[in-house]
């Protein structure tokens, strides 16, 4: 099977490298020539554990990167669209998907013979996009008919940044949407080397909504836990961590086996108070679904509340720092963790940035540190008066408060590092990752103050 993938970002590159490692012939396409060059040199342009190793095995062999979309599409049986779908005024901006569909269609016009070519949308798009936007663009540019001359499907991606390779290689499900059975059968061939993964064969719009519903559920869990955490904070003697431990131990979430051991459902990690969700997917997808649902005449009140809670959450950490220090004006505050989650350098929608902005607006002297995302953060800070510290030790030197935003394993060392300093800063634990008595001055999200 020969596959071309339009868009060599997180999703396109991880998909391409993994499929190539499974033995498929893969061409990753991007408009960014530098990215293409790096991939062909087996250098990962993004930080993702295991990606460098995969590229070393596949780049130049059965994985090739190119800027020549037309040639790559002509030489493939399946073309995946994995370009960005950023949010613009509450809606997903379809310009990249439309451009990709148009270019693929134009390439199909010149394609001679071969198998029933299938274009499959991997980008996250609201229900109806593939049928109402992608298919018309492909038909107009190719002069051919979908369902007769070529197939069109939807194969949403569920990988999590930071564990993307493992997620892709051992998928919990493979959703195969298609405009006809023939399309879905071609997609089955594409995933033939993943025989154990459960398939969901469905139509395009259902496949699109499966992806949004999955992300909206995770976002809802997080905002729910934060709402309970904020209630706990307002009380004198309640700790949300204990509340959630009690909730997690329900048989619904952690079933007890006959031998007394418990199976802990990974979803429990979304049921913990924190700084709110960020990243390139959850905030964008929930907002896009709200607009889509509202325009379709379905009320999305619950999801609007999920977003409202999330937008307010980062300022809770600033409140804790201010309460602990009396004022933030002229206080040295260190923000630890800039990536939206550990094991990635992705800064998109990270709660660290509203926290930094609010600290600066209240007169704090802000230092920031992240184990891998420093270069991107420096670029993004663009003139703001934030000091960047390369090392954790250096970051907390002279700090009045340290605010933990991302649960990096490296920050487990904080109590030991802080203990070696004369000055003991207030630690505002936005992820509840440290034992509360491991440092002299501690304030945790969702921890009632007596
Ligand atoms: P990204 O921004 O990292 O990558 C998109 C790439 O597409 C860029 O490198 C860009 O240069 C390229 N591109 C744009 N137009 C092109 C064109 N016409 N031809 C060739 N290349 C083109 O995006 P991403 O994070 O990989 O996300 C892609 C899609 O997958 C989005 O819809 C996103 O919502 C969805 N998704 C992302 C994740 C994730 O964790 N990042 C997970 C699941 C789904």
**Structure confidence by residue, pLDDT tens digits, 185-212:** 999 999 999 999 999 999 999 999 999 9
- Structural contact between residues 99 and 79, judged by C-beta atoms closer than 8 angstroms: no
Mean pLDDT for 149-178 is 96
Q: pLDDT value at position 161?
A: 86
Non-local CB neighbours of 437 within 8 Å, separated by 6+ positions: none
400-420 tens-digit pLDDT: 999 999 999 999 999 999 999
Say yes or no to pLDDT of 383 above 70. Answer: yes
Asked if the structure places residue 295 within a domain, the reply is yes
Q: Are residues 189 and 49 located together in one domain of the fold?
A: yes
Is residue 223 domain-resident?
no
- Decide: 129 in ligand 1 pocket, CB within 6 A: no
Q: Do 86 and 93 touch, CB atoms closer than 8 A?
A: yes
Res. 450: pLDDT tops 70: no
Active site residues: 281
Domain co-membership, 294 together with 190 = no
Q: Tell me what pLDDT residue 114 has.
A: 67
Q: What pLDDT, on a 0 to 100 scale, did the predictor assign at position 113? A: 67
The secondary structure of 337-401 as a DSSP string is --SSSTT----TT-THHHHHHHHHHTT-EEEEE-SS-HHHHHHHHTT---EE-SSHHHHHTT-SE
pLDDT of residue 166: 96
What is the 135 CA–ligand 1 centroid distance (Å)? 19
Q: What is the mean pLDDT of the chain?
A: 96
Residues 196 and 242 in one domain: no
For the sheet with 387-388, list strands across it.
387-388, 365-369, 332-336, 401-404, 426-429, 441-444
Domain that holds residue 98: 2-202
Residue 53 has a pLDDT of: 96
Domain shared by 186 and 239, yes or no: no
Would the pLDDT of 302 be above 70?
Answer: yes
Same domain as 239, residue 198: no
CB 149 within 8 A of CB 142: yes
Out of 157, 180, 202, pick the residue that ends a domain: 202
The answer as to whether 209 is a domain residue is: no
Asked whether residue 122 is assigned to any structural domain, the reply reads yes
Inform me whether the pLDDT recorded for 238 exceeds 80.
Answer: yes
Higher pLDDT, 47 or 239: 239
- What is the tally of structural domains in the chain? 2
Residue 112 has pLDDT above 80, yes or no: no
Write out pLDDT tens, residues 49-69: 999 999 999 999 999 999 999
CA of 318 to the centre of ligand 1 (A): 33
Residue 7 Cβ inside 6 Å of ligand 1? The answer reads yes
Tell me whether residue 230 is in a domain. Answer: no
Q: Is the CB of 9 under 6 A from ligand 1?
A: yes
Identify the band that residue 110 occupies on the pLDDT scale cut at 50, 70 and 90: confident
> Residue 176: CB within 6 Å of ligand 1?
no
Q: Decide if pLDDT at 445 tops 70.
A: yes
Q: How far is the CA of 204 from the centre of ligand 1 (A)?
A: 19
Residue 269 shares a structural domain with residue 179: no
In a shared domain, residues 266 and 172: no
End-of-domain residue from the set 185, 202, 219: 202
Q: Would you mind telling me the total number of residues written for the chain in this entry?
A: 450
Do 249 and 126 fall into the same domain?
A: no
Mutate which of 4, 11, 81, 122 for ligand 1? The one with the most ligand atoms within 8 Å of its CB, which is: 11
At residue 265 the predicted structure's pLDDT band, cuts being 50, 70 and 90, is very high
pLDDT of residue 246: 97
So what's the pLDDT on residue 111?
74
Judge contact between 355 and 335, C-beta under 8 A: yes
Q: What is the pLDDT of residues 271-291, one digit of tens each?
A: 999 999 999 899 999 999 999
Best of 27, 29, 67, 82 to mutate for ligand 1, by most ligand atoms within 8 A of CB?
82
- CATH code for the domain of 341: 3.40.50.720
Flag whether 219 is in a domain.
no
CA dihedral 237, 241, 243, 248 (to 10 degrees): -170
Which of these, 82, 15, 444, 42, lies nearest to 230 by C-alpha position? 444
255 and 187 within one domain: no
Residue 285 alpha carbon, nearest atom of ligand 1: 34
The answer to whether residue 220 is domain-embedded is: no
Are 130 and 51 members of one domain? yes
């Amino acid at each position: 099977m020969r596959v071309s993938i339009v868009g060599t970002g997180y999703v396109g590159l991880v998909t391409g490298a993994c499929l190539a490692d499974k033995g498929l012939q893969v061409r990753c396409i991007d408009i960014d020539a530098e990215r293409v060059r790096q991939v062909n040199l087996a250098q990962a342009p993004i930080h993702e554990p295991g990606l460098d190793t995969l590229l070393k095995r596949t780049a130049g062999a059965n994985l090739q990167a190119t800027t020549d979309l037309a040639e790559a599409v002509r030489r493939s049986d399946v073309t995946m669209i994995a370009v960005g779908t950023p949010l613009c005024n509450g809606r997903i901006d379809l310009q990249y998907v439309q451009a990709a569909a148009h270019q693929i269609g134009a390439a199909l016009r010149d394609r001679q013979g071969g198998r029933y070519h299938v274009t499959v949308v991997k980008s996250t798009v609201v229900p109806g996009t593939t049928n109402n936007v992608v298919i018309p663009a492909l038909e107009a540019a190719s002069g051919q008919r979908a369902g007769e001359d070529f197939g069109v499907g939807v194969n949403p991606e569920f990988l999590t940044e930071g564990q993307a390779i493992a997620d892709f290689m051992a998928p919990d499900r493979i959703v195969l949407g298609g405009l006809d059975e023939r399309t879905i059968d071609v997609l089955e061939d594409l995933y033939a080397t993943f025989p154990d993964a459960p398939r969901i064969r469905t139509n395009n719009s259902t496949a699109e909504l499966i992806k949004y519903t999955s992300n909206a559920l995770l976002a809802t869990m997080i905002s729910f836990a934060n709402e309970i955490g904020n209630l706990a904070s307002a009380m004198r003697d309640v700790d949300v961590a204990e509340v959630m431990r009690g909730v997690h131990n329900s048989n619904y979430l952690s079933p007890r086996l006959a031998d007394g051991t418990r199976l802990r459902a990974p979803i429990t990690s979304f049921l913990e108070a924190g700084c709110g969700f960020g990243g390139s997917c959850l905030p964008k997808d929930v907002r896009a679904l709200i607009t889509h649902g509202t325009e379709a005449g379905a009320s999305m009140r619950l999801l609007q509340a999920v977003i409202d809670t999330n937008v307010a959450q980062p300022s809770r950490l600033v409140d804790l720092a201010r309460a602990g220090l009396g004022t933030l004006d002229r206080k040295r505050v260190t923000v630890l963790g800039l990536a939206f989650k550990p094991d990635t350098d992705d800064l998109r929608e990270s709660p660290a940035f509203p926290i930094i902005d609010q600290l600066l607006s209240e007169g704090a002297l802000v230092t920031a540190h992240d184990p891998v995302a420093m270069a991107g953060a420096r670029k993004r800070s663009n003139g703001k008066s934030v000091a960047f510290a390369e090392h954790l030790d250096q970051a907390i030197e002279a700090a009045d408060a340290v605010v933990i935003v991302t649960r990096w394993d490296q920050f487990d060392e904080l109590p030991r590092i802080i203990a070696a300093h004369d000055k003991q800063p207030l630690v505002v634990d936005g992820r509840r990752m440290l034992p509360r008595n491991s440092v002299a001055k501690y304030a945790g999200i969702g921890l009632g103050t007596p």
